Structure 1
Amino acid sequence: MQPIDLRSDTVSKPTQAMREAMARAEVGDDCYADDPTINELERRVAQLLGKPAALFVPSGTMANQLAVATHTRPGDAIACAPEAHVLVHEDAAPARLSGVQTMPIGDRRGFSAAQLLQRLREESTGWPRVGLVWLENTLGLAGGVVWKLDELQAISELARAHGRPVHLDGARLWNAHVATGRPMPALASVADSVSVCISKGLGCPVGSLLCGEQEFVSRARASRHAFGGAMRQAGVLAAAGLHALEHHIERLRDDHRRARELSDALADLRCWRAIEPETNIALFELPAGTDAETLCAPLREAGVLCYPNKYDEIRLVVHLGIDDDALASAIARIRGVLA
C-alpha cells in the first residue's frame, strides 16, 4: 500500500520538470555572489515582493533567525503571536543565537494594534524593550489562517510610529496571495523584512529567501556566513525556485480546494470537530485533553501519514504531491479507521 503523506507541505518532491531545470542550472560560487542562478532567483523574489534585495538561504528558520539577528540587539524582546513559528518551532533560536526573548501577545490568530500598543506601554514599567514586531502570514499552527491585510497594516503603522522594525514570516505568503487575490507587494509592504519559503507549497527541495532593504540584506548576508548557511554552487537549488515561481504559484488553488474537500468529507466524524480551511491545512480539534497521537498512530498504520498539530489537535496538509485520486484514497482510509 502506497502511503499518502499529509504531514506537511514540506514533504512534496520535485516534479520531473523541476529536476530537469535543476540539471540545466548554470552555477558559480555564491560566497563570491557569482552564482548566476541564485542571483536571478534573489532578483526575481525581491521584485515579486516589492523589496530592493533578497538573500537565498537553506531554510525558513535560518531566514527568520537572520532577521532576528539583523534587527535586534541582545536583551530585546520580540512581540509575536502565541503560536508563532519563531516561538514554537525554532528551538528557542532567538535566545540561543541572538540573546533575544519572544514575548507572545494576542491569540493563535494573531494580535491587534491595540494589543501591541499595550505591550509597548509596559516598557515604561520596566518590561523588556520590543526590538522587533513579528508577523506571520499565513498563520501555520492556526491552520494556515490568513492574517487580514488591514489588521497587519494597522500593526505596521503603529510599530513604525514607535520606531520598531517589523518582520513578516511569510513561509506560506504565496498561499495568502492566492487565497485573497492580494498582490504580493501589498502583502509584503507591512514589514521591513520578509521571509518566504520555496520548499513548502512551491514544492522545491530546499530553500527560503529573506527580503528587505539592500543594507539590511548585506548585513544578513554576513550573518548567514556566521550561522553556517553560506553555500557554494547552489544554483541547482535556486533553479528549482525559478521553475516554481513560473509553474507552482497559481496551482496552490488546487491545494486549497482539496483541503476544503478533505475537511468537508471528514466533518461528520464524531471523534473531532473539523475547522474549515482557509488555505491548504485542514485542522481537526479533539475533545480537550485527548491525545491526538491515539488517532494519528492507527491512521499511519492505515497508510495516511500524519501527526498531531497540538496535543489535542490533528492537521492534514495538502500539497503538490496530493492529487484528486490520492485525496479520495486518503478520505476512504481515514473513514475506514475513524468512522
Structure 2
Amino acid sequence: MRIIDLRSDTVTMPTEEMREAMFRAEVGDDVYGDDPTVKRLEEYAAQLVGKEAALFVPSGTFGNQLALFVHCKRGDEVLLGDDSHIVQHEVGAASVIAGVQLRTLTSRQGELDPKEIEAKIRKAEDIHYPDTGLICLENAHSNGRVISLENMEQIHEIAKKYHIPIHLDGARLFNAATYLKAEAKEITRYVDSVMFCLSKGLCAPVGSILAGSRTFIEKAKKGRKLLGGGLRQSGFLAAAGLVALEKMIHRLQEDHENALLLGQELSKIPGIQLSLEDIHLNMVFFDMSAAGYDTDRLVEEFLKKGIKINPAEDGIMRLVTNYWVSREDVLYVVDTMRELLMGEHTE
C-alpha cells in the first residue's frame, strides 16, 4: 500500500536527482576543510541568505543550539517567544549546551512585541542581573504562520540600539520567503545569524545550514567540533543539499496551495474548526474536539487507509503537505476524514 505521510515535511525522501548527485559527489575530509562539495554548498547557502559565510550542520536543533553557544557566554539571558521551537521542542538544550537562561516573551501567534523586547533587555549595570546576550526570532514560525518583515525590522532596530545580536530560527525560511514573495535575504537582513533546514520540505536526507559573519562561522566551526558535529566525507550529504537549494525551493508554492486546499475542504466537515487565514505555509492546524471522535483512534483508522498522521498535541491536530503529497492525495485524505467522521454521526 502506498503511504501518504502528513506527519511532517521532514519525512520527505530524496529525489532521484539527489540520489544521483550523492552517488557521484566529489568528497574529502571536511574536518580538514578538504570536501569540495561541502564548500560549494556552504558558499551557495551563504549567498542565498546574504551572509559572509555558512556552515553545514547535522540538524536544525544542532544549528540553533550552536548559534546560542557561539553568541552567548554562560549565564547570559536569551529573549525569545514562549511558543518558539527553541523553547518548546529542543529538549532544554540551551541550559545544557550554552548554559544560558531563556527569558520567554508573550508570542502573538509567533510575532513578538518590540516594546516588550526593549522593556525586557537588561539595561542597568547590576551585579544581580544576567546580561541580555541574544534575541531569537522564528520565521516561518512552527505554528505555520509567517512573521512580517515590519515586525522583524522593528526588533532589529532595538537590537542595534542595545548592541544585542539576533539569531533567526529559519527552519522553514524558504517557505516564509515563498509566502512573502521575497528573497530569503530580504528576511535575513534583519538578523546576525540564521539557521535553515535542508531536510524540511526540500527533500534532502540530512542537514541544516548555519550562516552569519565570517568571524561568527569560524567560531561556530570550533563549536561544531566540540559538540561532535565534525563530519568527514560529508559531501555525500551536501550534494543532496545543493540540489535542495538549487531546485526544490522554487516549488514550495505547490505545497502551500495543497495545504490551503486541504484546509478549505476540511473546514467543510462538521466538527472541524480551523482558520484559513492561519494557513501561510504547508501546515494545517485544526481542532476536531466538536466532532466527538477520538484523535488516537483517528491515527489508527487513517493508517489503515494508508495515511500517516500524528496524534493531537494539546488538543490540536497538524497535517503537513510536502513534495510527495499530491493534490489527489489531499482530496483522498479529506474524503477519508469525511467518511470516518460522518460515519460516526450516522451510527
Q: Does the Cα contact within 8 Å between 2:266 and 2:272 map onto a contact in 1?
A: no
Partner of 2:195: 195
Give yes or no for the alignment of 1:118 onto 2:119: yes
Q: From the superposition, tell whether residues 329 and 111 of structure 1 become closer, same or farther in structure 2 (CA, over 3 Å).
A: same
Q: From the superposition, tell whether residues 6 and 127 of structure 1 become closer, same or farther in structure 2 (CA, over 3 Å).
A: farther
Query: In structure 1, how many angstroms separate the alpha carbons of the residues matched to 2:175 and 2:305?
Result: 29
Structure 1 residue 298, shift from structure 2 partner: 3.4
Q: Does the Cα contact within 8 Å between 2:311 and 2:317 map onto a contact in 1?
A: yes
Give yes or no for the alignment of 1:6 onto 2:9: no
Structure 1 residue 128, shift from structure 2 partner: 3.6
Across the two proteins, how many residue pairs are aligned to each other? 337
Partner of 2:207: 207
2:243 partner letter:
H
Q: Report 1:66-105 matches (<5 A).
A: 66-105=66-105
Aligned-residue sequence identity (percent) comes to 39
Structure 2: unaligned runs, 5 residues or longer: 343-347
Structure 1 residue 130, shift from structure 2 partner: 2.2
Q: From the superposition, tell whether residues 273 and 185 of structure 1 become closer, same or farther in structure 2 (CA, over 3 Å).
A: same
Structure 1 residue 86, shift from structure 2 partner: 0.6
Structure 1 residue 287, shift from structure 2 partner: 4.5
What secondary structure, in the 3-state scheme, does the structure 2 residue paired with 1:168 have? strand
Q: Does the Cα contact within 8 Å between 1:4 and 1:304 map onto a contact in 2?
A: yes
2:172 partner letter:
R
Q: Report 1:293-308 matches (<5 A).
A: 293=296, 295-308=298-311
What per-residue deviation string (whole Å, max 9, x for no partner) do you get for residues 282-315 of structure 1? 1102459x97545434333433211146211011
What per-residue deviation string (whole Å, max 9, x for no partner) do you get for residues 111-152 of structure 1? 121110121268678554321100000001x1x200000100
Q: CA RMSD in A?
A: 2.0
Q: Does the Cα contact within 8 Å between 2:84 and 2:110 map onto a contact in 1?
A: no
Partner of 1:328: 331
Q: Does the Cα contact within 8 Å between 1:53 and 1:213 map onto a contact in 2?
A: yes
Structure 1: unaligned runs, 5 residues or longer: none
Q: TM-score, normalised by structure 2?
A: 0.92
Q: From the superposition, tell whether residues 124 and 117 of structure 1 become closer, same or farther in structure 2 (CA, over 3 Å).
A: farther
Partner of 2:234: 234
Structure 1 residue 183, shift from structure 2 partner: 1.6
Partner of 1:311: 314
Q: Of the two, which has the highest radius of gyration? A: 2
Q: TM-score, normalised by structure 1?
A: 0.94
Q: Does the Cα contact within 8 Å between 1:61 and 1:90 map onto a contact in 2?
A: yes
2:319 partner letter:
L
Partner of 1:132: 134
What secondary structure, in the 3-state scheme, does the structure 1 residue paired with 2:121 have? helix
Q: Once structures 1 and 2 are overlaid, which stretch shifts more, 69-78 or 257-266?
A: 69-78
- TM superposition outliers: structure 1 runs of 4+ over 4 Å: 121-127
2:93 partner letter:
A
Structure 1 residue 237, shift from structure 2 partner: 0.7
Query: In structure 2, how many angstroms separate the alpha carbons of the residues matched to 1:329 and 1:27?
Result: 43
What secondary structure, in the 3-state scheme, does the structure 1 residue paired with 2:111 have? coil
Structure 1 residue 270, shift from structure 2 partner: 2.9
1:280 partner letter:
N
2:272 partner letter:
W
What secondary structure, in the 3-state scheme, does the structure 2 residue paired with 1:211 have? strand
Q: Does the Cα contact within 8 Å between 1:304 and 1:334 map onto a contact in 2?
A: no
Q: Does the Cα contact within 8 Å between 1:123 and 1:129 map onto a contact in 2?
A: no
Query: In structure 2, how many angstroms separate the alpha carbons of the residues matched to 1:315 and 1:206?
Result: 23
